[in-house]
Chain A
Amino acid sequence: MTGAPSHDVRLEWPDGRTRSMDIREDETVLEGADRVDVALPFGCRTGACGTCTGRLLEVDESDPADAGRDSGAGAVEAAFAYRRRPRALKDRHRDDGYVLLCIASPRVDCRIAVGSSVHAELVENPWK
């Protein structure tokens, strides 16, 4: 299907690399990236493993769908539609703006931190 609306999604890696792409509302960020041969980490593709975790950095203020919010769970909910429940994320992760890119489709233009290190932020070594 090519008629679905799309949004400009900018992926930002920790090493400074960035890539902007149009991602349709009927595809997930992971699928959209894959379509243009951009590799993102992933595992289960069902929202259970968290390997694909990204962090919402900013939504486009000019996008009427989500003006005024720039991070956090509210922004994630406004910025993405989930195909299924994001089971790998806890409330505290969602509050901090983490998003599962394998099941999330964009609803606004946005910037997302991506790469394997984002997943590693979800839990710390509890003994250290």
Chain B
Amino acid sequence: MSDASIPDDVEPDHEHEHSHHAEGPGYATPQAAIEESDREKLAYVMSLYVGTDVDAPDFVAVVDIDPDSDTYCKIVDRIELPNRGDELHHFGWNACSSSCHVEGLERRHLIVPGQRSSRIHVVDTKERRNPELVSVIEPEDVYEYDLSAPHTVHCIPDGQILISMLGDADGELPGGFLELNEDFEIEGRWEPPGEIEMNYDYWYQPRQNVMVSSEWAAPKTYYPGFDLDDVEEGRYGRKLHFWDWEAGTVEQTIDLGEEGLIPLEVRFLHTPESTHGFVGAALSSNIFHFWRDEESAARSAADEASGDEPRAADGEGKYRAEKVIDFEAREHPDWDMPVPGLTTDILISMDDRYLFGSNWLHGDIWMYDVSDPSNPRRADSLSVGGTFGEVQEVQGRKLSAGPQMIQLSLDGERLYWTTSLFSSWDEQFYPEEGERGSVMLKADVDPRKGTLELDEDFLVDWGECPAGPARAHEIRWPDGDCTSDVWQ
């Protein structure tokens, strides 16, 4: 049965409907998401033409990933946006499991920002196979708040939406956070100005009253492409910021140092009680584990009680970060310098057992057992695409780039990925990506054995789009996913 046969007004997950009668969207717990969700049958994928000579706007692809469907592995609908030049990148839901308690709220609208344009689109997915663009916030309205370059979209538990913004209105620093209300209008800046300089991804753990944010660079630095001179001049980020979630203020900043260059995707464990999480440092190609250090927190509380200055310097705050995985640079016979892996995406399985990630330049998908988060144990990896991948074509289709944005099924058994990073960076490292378009690939995961196996029957090809080859970036499931659902 395809999703198209489900009436618009009925949640497809009857178990879920039953267990949360008359309550909000999502699942009661991460374990409920695993047990009660159906297999993913549709994927929404950010797709883009910006930076190419194809005269067409970017689009959100609706991809059929139901193996029983006649259109399996096909793009079955495209939500074309009204303007060219957006660079669709990351997107998110208006509501997730963090709003499970909010009666009447639905996980139904996708907030789709343009990274380059700063235009924010709202897409209604009531008809899952034929979503519809319903409203647009124009760039000028965003610039009024001295913000640009929208990135990570999370709903916040009461129906509002928070978007990390990487630059000011001129594409320079500082960035900040833009809040939308439940009617998808700009509410204002979420944080008091001046809390951070650089911004990128963020994740929050409301039960712990904490948010963590990471750093890329100023838009004017990363937009044109990657330049080593910018690294040497300190224009790329290497810090994590830990926020008081309620107050919207930075409580502690941890400088990850030379080994934490360009910390991008940042994830807390899904368990709402947990204070553990991971961040992938893209350029230095390693993974840091961070956690709240209870001894330090207790010491801090004692200091405050005794009237001493609270400790806030690096390494003395309540949170600590430690490098736990390193991906070594590799020599390439035709390249001048050892090539870093470029760890561009990570995610945590819904059961918090595995950390998955991608090394875009090397061409690796990897999984680590993080049952003990301070001691990750390598479980398996796949060498596919990229500069060194053992598999360089699937079904006769040449791969142009390495694995990039990843998404995992809620049950943790299917890992999907696309291959585009950012249009200008693609052009620099994998110029063929623009000529051939991206692909979406899949691996079957055995969580019991801790193994990954490439599914060679699965291939979605953005090279065959009607207007010309397109790039494909972030992936979302209609029923929530491992990179957007948070629990209250």
Complex contacts, B170 vs chain A, CB 8 Å: 46, 48, 84-85, 87
Judging by beta carbons under 8 Å apart, are B223 and A48 in contact?
A: yes
Q: Which of A51, A90, A125 contacts B424 (CB 8 A)?
A: A51
Q: Within 8 Å of chain A (Cβ to Cβ): is B176? A: no
Per the 8 Å Cβ criterion, residues 32-50 of B in contact with A are 50
Tell me whether A41 and B335 are in contact (CB under 8 A): no
What mask results when residues 16 to 51 of chain A are scored 1 for a CB within 8 Å of chain B, else 0?
Answer: 000000000000000000000001011111111111
Q: Say whether B52 contacts A49, CB under 8 Å.
A: no
Whether B337 lies near A49 (C-beta < 8 A) is: no
Distance in angstroms from B471 CB to nearest chain A CB is 12
On chain A, the residues within 8 Å of B327 by CB distance are none
Bound-state Cα–Cα, A89 to B171, Å: 13
Q: B470: shortest Cβ distance to chain A, in Å?
A: 13
B434 touching A50, Cβ below 8 Å? no
CB 8 Å contact bits of B212-230 with A (1 = contact, 0 = none):
0000000110011111110
The answer to whether B226 touches A51 (Cβ under 8 A) is no
Contact in complex: A41, B51 (CB < 8 Å) = yes
How far does the Cβ of B77 sit from chain A's closest Cβ, in whole Å?
Answer: 24
Query: In this assembly, does A88 line the interface, its C-beta being within 8 Å of a C-beta of chain B?
Result: yes
CA distance A43 to B139 in the complex (A): 11
Q: Are B50 and A122 in contact (CB under 8 A)?
A: no
Q: How many residues of B contact A (CB 8 A)?
A: 43
Residue of A with least CB distance to B425: A123
CB contacts under 8 Å to A, within B222-256, are 223-229
For A50, list chain B residues within 8 Å (CB): 223-225, 424
B55 contacts partner chain A, Cβ-Cβ < 8 Å? yes
The reply to whether A44 and B148 form a contact with Cβ atoms under 8 Å apart is: yes
A12 to B168, CA, bound (A): 34
Asked if residues A127 and B424 are in contact (CB atoms below 8 Å), the reply is no
- A119 CA / B52 CA spacing, docked (Å): 10
Question: Is A116 among interface residues, defined by CB-CB distance under 8 A?
Answer: yes
B116 touches A43 (CB 8 A): yes
In the complex, which residues 92-128 of chain A have their Cβ closer than 8 Å to any Cβ of chain B? 115-116, 119-120, 122-128
Which of A85, A116, A125, A127 contacts B52 (CB under 8 A)?
A116
CA distance A2 to B371 in the complex (A): 69
Q: Which chain A positions have C-beta within 8 A of B427? A: 116, 119-120
B51 with A119: CB separation less than 8 A: yes
The answer to whether B52 and A48 have CB atoms under 8 Å apart is no
Point out the residues of chain A lying under 8 angstroms from B227, CB to CB: 90, 123, 126
> Is B116 a contact partner of A49 (Cβ separation < 8 A)?
yes
**Interface: B308 (CB within 8 A):** no
Enumerate chain B residues within 8 angstroms of A46, measured Cβ to Cβ: 148, 169-171
A125 and B171 in contact, given A43-B51, A44-B118, A45-B117 (Cβ under 8 angstroms): no
B294 at interface (Cβ–Cβ under 8 A)?
no
B51 contacts across to A, CB distance below 8 A: 41, 43, 51, 116, 119
Residue-wise, chain B 175-188 has the 8 Å CB interface mask toward A (1 for contact) of 00000000000000
Chain B, range 333-352, C-beta contacts under 8 Å to A: 334-340
Can you report 28 A-B residue pairs in the complex whose CB atoms are below 8 A from each other? A13-B53, A39-B53, A39-B55, A41-B85, A43-B116, A44-B118, A44-B171, A44-B219, A46-B169, A46-B170, A46-B171, A47-B171, A49-B224, A50-B424, A51-B85, A53-B224, A87-B170, A90-B227, A115-B53, A116-B51, A119-B51, A120-B427, A120-B428, A122-B224, A123-B227, A124-B428, A127-B338, A128-B336
Besides A43-B87, A51-B85, A116-B51, 13 other A-B contacts (C-beta < 8 A): A44-B117, A44-B171, A44-B219, A47-B171, A48-B170, A48-B223, A49-B171, A49-B223, A51-B51, A87-B171, A90-B229, A119-B51, A120-B225
Listed from nearest, the 6 A-B pairs whose CB atoms lie closest are: A48-B171, A43-B116, A123-B225, A50-B224, A49-B223, A39-B55
